[in-house]
Every structure is written in C-alpha cells, then in structure tokens.
Amino acid sequence: MRMGSPRSRLPSRALATNYSAGYHDSVDAQHDKLAAPATSAIGSAAACCYSKGSTNPRRFFSMAQLRSGVPRRSFLRSQLALGAASHRPDLCAATSASPCRSPLARSVIIWLQEGGMSQLESWDPKPAGSAEIRGIFKSIATTQAVFRIGEHMPRLARKTALYNVVRSVTMDNTRRDHSPGLHWLSTAYDHQAAGVSLEKVNRSPSVGAVLAHQLGTTTADGLSNFVAIPNARQLGNRVRYTGALHLGAACDAFDAGPIPATATGKDRLPQGLTLPADIAPARLRQRRLLLAAFAERDSSPHREATNNDFGAFQVKSHEILASRGVRYAFDLNQEPPHVREMYGASAMGQGTLLARRLVEAGVSYVLANHSEKHSWDTHNDNFNKLTNTLLPPMDQAVSALLGDLQQRGMLDEVLVLGEMGRTPRINKHRGRDHWPDLFSLLIAGGGLTRGRVLGSSSRHSGTLLERPVHHHEILATINHQLGIDPNQMVRHRRDRPVRIMPEAKPLHELLA
C-alpha cells in the first residue's frame, strides 16, 4: 500500500500493550529539522493523503460570485491551516512499502505508564519477600492457577485469560533514567549519537510514524493513522519523541486533545475538526472553489507543479472538515452512559474509551498516555499514590477495554501493550526508584496467545531468572502481527536506506 492511500478494512484484529518501559543511534544530523510539530488535523492527518500529481476540479468565478458571501477576514482565517500545510514540501517526501505478510492485527493501542510502574505492586508481586522488598500490598489470585498479581487490580485478575504478562523485560539503560526508556518506547532505538544529549534531541522517527508510513497515513474516512491521547507533547516537551522526521510530517501523531475526567463530562472534539460557528458547509465549499479558481489563473510551470501538490492537501483538508466519520470517531458523547461508566469516571478511563473508538474506526496506532497529571514515577509515597490515584483507574480502564474488545469481536485484531520498572528495595521516602534492569508489561490480542506468563524474576524481583525478553522483541512482535517485516529498510529523503528498528525477532512463545 503506498503512503497516503486509505487503509483497507481488514477483519477486526487489535493488539494492545501496557508499557511501563525507548531510544537510539542517529540516522541523520538533520532529521530533527525536517518536520515541525503539527497543530491541527489539517496540518497533520490531512496533509498527505494524495500522491504527487493528483488533480482536483477547478472552475472560474465571475467577479460577482467572488464578491458574494466570502468575507476576506473569515476567508483568510479559515485557510490558515491549509496555508501551513501547503508550505511543507516534505509532507509527501517518503513512500511506504507494503506489509510483508498477511496481518494478524490491524491496530495497536499503547497504554503508556510514563515514569515507570512498579512491577512489585502490579504484575510481579513477591509475597514471600521481606517487608522492605514486598511492601505493604498483598497479592491476589487470578483465573490462572499459578499467576498472582497486586491486590489493587481485582478486575484485571478476573480477566487474565484475555492477556499475557511478560515478567522479564530488560533494556540497555546504564543511565537508569527516563530518557533512554522513552527513546526506546517511542522510536525502537536505544542510544543517541556521540555527544548528543538525550534530553535535547531525537533523530529517529517514532514507532507510530513508521507504522503510518508503512500502512498508510490515514483511514478511509480521513482519520490520521497515528493518534496521541491526549497529545504527543507529553513525551518530553523539549524532545519530539513522537515525530516522523525524515518520513514526512504526514506521519506525525495527531493530538486528540483534552479528555473529560468524568463519565458524564461533555466531550470536546479536537481542534481543527470543527468549523467556526459562522462557517456553514456550503460556505466552506464556496471557499474551496475560490481557491481552485485562484490556482487555475496562475499558469506558470513552477506554480502548476506546486499547486497540484498543495491543491491535493487542500482538497483532503476540506474533506476532513466535512466528514462526519472523523468527528464521530472522536465524539465520546456518542457512547451510551453505561459504557462510559464502565471505563471509569477519570481521564484514564475516558481516554481508554476514546482509544477503543479510534481503533474501531480503523486507526492503526493509538498512543494513550495518561500521565499528564499523575505520573507513575513514584520515588515518593509509592503506596498511597498507587492505592488512591493510579492503580484503581488503570484497573478499571484496561479491564473494560479488554472486555469491550472481546465482546465486539475486536480483541484478536487490536494489540494492547502497556518506560522501566522500579527498584526492589523501598527507599527512605516510602517510594521506589528507577529500575530498568527488569520490568513487566501486559500484552494482549492481535492474534497472540492468551493467558500466558512469560519469563520470571528472582525472589526480590531485581534480577532475571529465566527467558530474558529484550525490549526490541516486543516491538518486533508488534510489527510482525501487523504484517510488517521488523528488519526491513525504508528510504528517507536523501534516498538513504534506514532500518525501521534494530534487528530482532518476535516473541515466538506468544505467537498463536
């Protein structure tokens, strides 16, 4: 499938992951300059859905028509985003390759726990450990006889037959800091170029951007194939971890925007998907025709080639603004009250429900980061934060997502994954510090097996006992289930071959 073509509707399969563990080698010193952040649907999701050479119908206007109903100020305001897109010649610079095999999954939800969730209070409790190791939480039984999890995840304990837990994920992070983890999670690479600070620059495209490049930048309805909930900027305000870089800005993440914190709160559509109150659809069509007339009157060869590209962006942008399907996918108000309540009266719950709506609408990659107000980086007061703020809404939201996907026949088509773990020993502030040596994550759906526990840790949960799982294997599994060869090369703007991720094989134990 070439880049920009609408994604075909595959039989429903989704892959979900709950990540609590990112990053890499330099690809090119200039990559971080190639794509500026997109601020609206027009500037990102809509930008590159037509190939070069596309044309659009144009006609001339009489002066009377041009004078009628087209106020200059409103016209310029409504076209501002289109103008921003039209000045980005790199938007369609790359072309995508077709998936290497028939996909088993069609979408991925990354349920990110930025900061790093403690494995000892969640997926890998140590009830037989000493008090300074096990902490104050108890473990509870699950539907799998040999599998126990933390006591504050009772709903997930009843649904262990729907997902797998990997207890032996490890990563190369000698700094024991967030930046390497976020670089890996976001881009599949671990280390930066020599002398480059991880906190200042990212030079590889994000995993979501690569998938959008490979699978098509938009759905058939014009939705971006890479959506960040609530926004991509949470992953380091100074570093564009979720940028597309040399793949072109069309592959950037589209921001879903603020999420309601209650199950009854009125949802607000993302900026850029709604028309101003004084702009009716008919008036928008008039302006589209006016743009076409202006383009038609400029017949210089250079302008003609440019207008073909920019005109395609403008046509697609207008289509998105007029599309009910795009707005419907983002509109939580369309959900029955009991469904919104099932996911929980929290931003975590409502954001997770939005993730389900987006993959249901065909979006390939949804990054749900619910750490804007409540970080999982629990150096202090670990147990109170987990008990009162973090674990209950996560337990409700993720268990609701798994059950909802199963009921809708989508669990086999969505892969849900869930930065690093926490130290085995509790510190003097009643918290746990960074521990990238070993951590756990949930991985479900996407045609994988279910109900398995892969790998194990020592009695203190600090060292590996069996089956080390390198984090590259997780991302290789995602690509494999989506039908993408994880070891393939893509070409950037300078026609240089670049591997989409470090060489790795998928987790064969979880392949159905």
Contacts of 286 (CB under 8 A, 6+ apart): 69, 70
- Residue corresponding to tokens 């930065």: 419
Helix (H, G, I), strand (E, B) or coil at 95: coil
Query: Is 170:177 a contact under the CB 8 Å cutoff?
Result: no
- Asked whether residue 299 is assigned to any structural domain, the reply reads no
pLDDT at 342: 98
Residue ranges with strand state E in 284-384:
365-369
pLDDT at 338: 97
Cis peptide before 6 (omega within 30 of 0): no
Contacts of 471 (CB under 8 A, 6+ apart): 21, 22, 169, 170, 171, 184
Query: Is 18:163 a contact under the CB 8 Å cutoff?
Result: no
The residue count of the chain comes to 512
How far apart (Å, rounded) are the C-alpha atoms in residues 146 and 449? 17
Domain count, the chain: 1
- Asked whether residue 265 is assigned to any structural domain, the reply reads yes
| Phi, psi of 378, rounded to the nearest 5 degrees | -95, 65
- Asked whether residue 84 is assigned to any structural domain, the reply reads no
- Asked whether residue 62 is assigned to any structural domain, the reply reads no
- Asked whether residue 83 is assigned to any structural domain, the reply reads no
Token output for 172? 């190369």
**How crowded is residue 11: how many other Cβ atoms within 10 Å of its Cβ?**
11
Q: Is 442 exposed, middle or buried (0-12, 13-18, 19+ CB in 10 A)?
A: buried
How far apart (Å, rounded) are the C-alpha atoms in residues 428 and 413? 45
How far apart (Å, rounded) are the C-alpha atoms in residues 442 and 138? 20
HSE of 210 in the Cβ direction (CA atoms, 13 Å)?
29
pLDDT at 88: 35
| Phi, psi of 183, rounded to the nearest 5 degrees | -65, -45
Contacts of 257 (CB under 8 A, 6+ apart): 230, 231, 268, 269, 270, 271
- Asked whether residue 383 is assigned to any structural domain, the reply reads yes
Query: Kind and range of the H or E element at 414?
Result: strand 414-417
What string of pLDDT tens digits covers the 512 residues of the chain?
333 344 444 444 677 776 664 333 333 333 333 333 332 222 222 223 323 333 333 333 344 444 444 444 433 333 333 333 333 333 333 344 445 567 889 999 999 888 788 888 899 999 988 888 889 899 999 999 889 999 999 999 999 999 999 999 887 766 666 667 777 778 888 655 545 555 667 778 899 999 999 999 999 888 899 999 998 877 666 677 788 888 888 899 999 988 988 998 777 788 777 778 788 878 888 887 887 787 777 666 655 555 555 666 666 677 777 778 888 999 999 999 999 999 999 999 999 999 999 999 999 999 998 776 778 888 888 889 999 999 999 999 999 999 999 999 999 877 777 556 777 777 888 888 777 778 899 999 999 999 999 999 888 777 889 999 988 899 999 999 999 998 888 876 677 888 888 889 999 999 98
pTM above 0.75, yes or no: yes
Strand partners, 443: 17, 164
pLDDT at 174: 63
- Residue corresponding to tokens 């990054």: 367
For residue 178, give the CATH number of its domain.
3.40.720.10
Amino acid at 299: S
**Domain span at 438:** 14-50+99-275+334-510
**DSSP, res 486:** T
Query: Is 70:290 a contact under the CB 8 Å cutoff?
Result: yes
pLDDT at 117: 86
178-187 helix and 207-215 helix, angle to the nearest 10 degrees = 0
How far apart (Å, rounded) are the C-alpha atoms in residues 183 and 192? 9
**DSSP, res 511:** B
